[in-house]
Structure 1
Amino acid sequence: MKKIHLVFTCLIAGTILISCDSKEKKEAASSGPDSVATVTDSLVLPAPFTTKSVTNRPDEVGWKDGQMPKAPEGFVVTKYADKLESPRWTYIGPNGDVFVAESGTKKSPDRITILRDVNKDGIPEMREVFLEKLNKPLGMLILNNYFYVGNTDGLYRYPYKPGETKITGKGVKILNLPAGGYNNHWTRNLLANADGSKIYVSVGSGSNVAEHGMDNEIRRANILEINPDGTGEKVYASGLRNPVGMDWAPGTKTLWTAVNERDELGDDLVPDFITSVKQGGFYGWPYSYFGQNKDPRMKGEGADLVAKAIVPDVPVGSHTASLGLVFYNKTKFPTKYHNGAFIGQHGSWNRSKLAGYKVMFVPFKDGKPSGKPEDFLTGFIDSESQVSGRPVDVTIAEDGSLLVNDDSGNVIWRVTAK
């Protein structure tokens, strides 16, 4: 068993330094006031291939009448919207409108539906097709009177007027992106910075571990930074196998992402994670994982990159397919949850015992993790061979409730504090 010890050693000028296997992590931790160090006590990683790689896909059976996920005591779970078709992602507009990207890996509806809660009772009275005939849409963004859509093959933008319920005009493709990807790596998420001067685009890898060659991975496994018109592309961070969820830690200028890590090294390799994202940082894929742990399948390639691979901040379980990420920036939930991170875990397929299929929570304080990950929304797993649903995106609604996209159950769940 190989151990990565993540131990606090000192506090200098408000920045925590840690002792670990990665010199680069120490350097990253001391790089500025928005740097973040992990709070986990230790992470024990087995050797590669300690267990066999297993394909274990449970049947997705949907929810029975009256059945629903379970939240901690003090919370209530209700259906916000149902009878959707693969509701993969949600975006909350400035006026509180809820936009839902309905898209999937095999059969994809390729549309965006708008939901509006007119009387503010937690149930949307209006539901319309906002935009259709797309190409596996995921990320959405309203910026400077444009509605942006991250299709799998590129970033499109459409003229948009606040409050309109349907877009009929033709969009303009402002950025080409490599289409498709390994398993579910077709998703392209979007996030703007505080002043709207930059847009960040997540692009997952085109393979598990570069088995098709690195020429197939150009501009992949990255978070890209562009101007709002699609120009000025830069690689903001690289070596992130499948970064999907992105958000800004409250009170900071630090970008965080949820990353779905690699497969076929055994049940407990490699842990998915959430991490602060250092501009220009390299996070290991495909050559190494969790810092400088070399992937044996890469046969020593990329040694120069491995030497500077950054250790991610918070591991959240192997093969959990952690895809959604949002910080709780409202005050309706108990104080414990303020500014903390919710993570949507779509669930494993490459593990003998199911993992994920839930929403996790990581407490934060002053923009840094302050406790261990814990279960928040569970009850998706019926048995080792059957699940009722699969959570993906997590979003904070205007009223402070948590919306959870369940693309298998075709439901958006709403979690409120009593």
Structure 2
Amino acid sequence: MSGLTMSSGYFTPPPYADAEYTVLPGTVVNATHYSVTALCKGCTYWAPFGNEPTSLDPNGENYLAFAYSGVPVDDPAANETTFGIHERVGHWMHNFEPAQAADFESWAGGDSGGEPPVNTVTRTTLLTTFSTSTFRSTTTLQTTVTSTGFPPGGSATTTASASSSTATSSVIASSAPVLPVPSSCSGVNSFRFGYQTASGWKAVKLAGSLTGPRGVAVDSEGNLLVVQSGKGVTVHTFGPNGCISSTKTLISNPSLNHGIGFTPDGKTLYVSSMTTAWSYTYDPKAQTVSGQTVVVKNMQQGGHPTRALLIPPATPHLLVIQQGSYNNFDYESLNKAVARAVVKVFDMRSVPSGGYAYASQGWLLGYGLRNEVALAADGNNARACLGFDADVEPYRIWGVENSGDDFARTVNGQSYDIHNDNPAEELNLLGDPSKPNEQWYGYPTCFTVWEPSVITDKSFKIGQQFVVAPTAHSAPIGAAFDRTFQNLYMTLHGSWNRSPATGFKVSVVPFTKLANGSYDPVAAADSKTGYTDIFWSTNVGSCTGSTCFRPSGISWDRSFSRLFVASDNTAEGELFMLVKS
């Protein structure tokens, strides 16, 4: 497949609007071969946000890459389409100098013996069988799932049941009015994919046609901010009917891909790309930002791209940022100094000029955490900000981890597959962010058991190492406590590495306050029923990255009654609202 997309990291590349693509004479597609001759204007020079301009060298070697899938794309004619899974990726060095020709300008103008060029387009795709044998070298690095979509097969239904939970949670003071819950929003198309809700819950679609919506946050005026991966941050204002009444771009930065958060007073906004975290002064009434400042720099270029962030309510001068592993088994991350597969903390009261260097500055809040994308502060931390009794220690941060893929167990030289139900995802207690946590959480050599029966050489229990173990390959990437901290809501993005599939839903983990004032999940560590589902894709077991909604960001509104959830399926990015019915 050839097309016009551009990515700033390890995630689905959105269409690249600054390029113009022309298929020239000489392009051939048949049953066995694919040869394309094309002209791409605007493809050789670009300036990533916050970084030095980059260009291809016409007179030397360039570092290029490919991705291969045996599964066809959903819509070969659409530039925004994508593979449901990348089975192989690889890199090679390509020397551009021999490709130069004296007749280039003539060819680019379509002079090929009278045959005109194919129409210039900004989304052209040709699809045939693809071979990697022409490249100098390849690697067998597994990649994360990418997502596309098809039209829904039917209307939503309400089935099943789940334990009820208390209302919502917030730490930003607000004068935002309590808005009604609409049955639907005018001008918003129907749910792209089928869904179900638990008894007592209702789902409303607030917006569609977004670009990879990921992290979400609500400001002190009740406006919803959304990171649209590959685009930037948009702000969405609600009308008196509870639906979105206006939308504007707040920050235009295509390198932003997930992280977003406010200080408790709502005046400082933090966002992150794969390599950099920025702070802005934020005006919620005008919906404007100013004073862009780099606060953390030099995060890993490559590997898992998200840099989820959290501002602990009890210590709002601290910024917590996670960085995932470089690949499935990142053994270099065993060295804490590498600062991959970690969560770190930085003091925003003393940011050095140019920002903190991620690997060498700040302090650890745990390492051996493969990809701790979902972060949340528990009741003690948030209650201190809300004016409740703040004398109870510790003020604790929790993380939900995406664990490993493609597991086999080797016994006496023989390997057998255990990957379908192992390892479990993890809900980890990271602790008080004001104090360094040098604890190792196991990655990349120790993992959590979800299904012990398939491991036949030894006797294991479910989740021996950790507090709660969600189903293997659920891919949790967002978390938010309710107001009373009796429930932790999680978005489970879904994964390609299990059959039948799992994830593609929003679940809730019940919590309880212990006698010493700390919070813990109700379920035991060896429980498979430590959480319940409240919003999920129809026929979850057959979901792929292209056929179901994919929950990503999650946040409560200021009225403590509406739970906002984003879905970043590339067929259509959507925003939902979940409420108690």
Q: When the two structures are superposed, what TM-score results if normalisation uses the length of structure 2?
A: 0.53
Query: What are the within-5 Å matches in structure 2 for residues 11-410 of structure 1?
Result: 60-64=148-152, 66-67=190-191, 68-103=194-229, 108-109=230-231, 111-119=232-240, 121-143=241-263, 145-167=267-289, 169=290, 171-182=292-303, 185-193=304-312, 194-210=314-330, 218-228=338-348, 229-230=350-351, 233-251=362-380, 253-265=395-407, 266-278=419-431, 279-290=437-448, 311-329=465-483, 339-366=486-513, 367-371=519-523, 372-381=530-539, 383-384=542-543, 387-399=547-559, 400-408=561-569, 409-410=572-573
The superposition leaves residues 274-324 of structure 1 with CA deviations (integer Å, 9 ceiling, x where unpaired) of 121143321011121139xxxxxxxxxxxxxxxxxx922110111111111
Conserved? CA contact 1:358–1:377, under 8 Å? yes
TM-fit CA distance, 1:162: 3.5
- Look up the SS of the partner of 1:125 in the other structure: strand
Residues 176 and 380 (structure 1), Cα distance of their counterparts in 2 relative to 1, 3 Å cut: farther
For the residues of structure 2 that align with 1:361 and 1:233, how far apart are their CA atoms? 32
For the residues of structure 1 that align with 2:491 and 2:316, how far apart are their CA atoms? 26
Conserved? CA contact 1:147–1:159, under 8 Å? yes
Conserved? CA contact 2:213–2:553, under 8 Å? no
TM-fit CA distance, 1:352: 2.8
TM-fit CA distance, 1:170: 6.2
- Look up the SS of the partner of 1:129 in the other structure: strand
Query: Which has more strand, going by share of residues?
Result: 1
Conserved? CA contact 2:201–2:534, under 8 Å? no
For the residues of structure 2 that align with 1:149 and 1:264, how far apart are their CA atoms? 32
- Look up the SS of the partner of 2:420 in the other structure: coil
Conserved? CA contact 1:241–1:261, under 8 Å? yes
**Aligned residues: percent identity?**
21
The superposition leaves residues 339-382 of structure 1 with CA deviations (integer Å, 9 ceiling, x where unpaired) of 20111111111123211111111111112211421111112557
Count of aligned positions = 332
For the residues of structure 2 that align with 1:263 and 1:216, how far apart are their CA atoms? 22
Conserved? CA contact 2:262–2:311, under 8 Å? no
Conserved? CA contact 1:226–1:233, under 8 Å? yes
TM-fit CA distance, 1:388: 2.5
The superposition leaves residues 239-263 of structure 1 with CA deviations (integer Å, 9 ceiling, x where unpaired) of 1000111111224511111100111
For the residues of structure 1 that align with 2:505 and 2:468, how far apart are their CA atoms? 17
TM-fit CA distance, 1:237: 1.0
Conserved? CA contact 1:90–1:393, under 8 Å? yes
Aligned to 2:115: none
Aligned to 1:412: 575
Q: CA RMSD in A?
A: 2.8
Unaligned runs of 5+ in 1: 1-53, 292-309, 331-337
Larger Rg: 2
TM-fit CA distance, 1:118: 4.1
Conserved? CA contact 1:357–1:380, under 8 Å? no
Q: Which amino acid aligns with 1:147?
A: L
Q: Which amino acid aligns with 2:554?
A: V
Q: When the two structures are superposed, what TM-score results if normalisation uses the length of structure 1?
A: 0.72
Conserved? CA contact 2:552–2:566, under 8 Å? yes
Residues 206 and 217 (structure 1), Cα distance of their counterparts in 2 relative to 1, 3 Å cut: farther
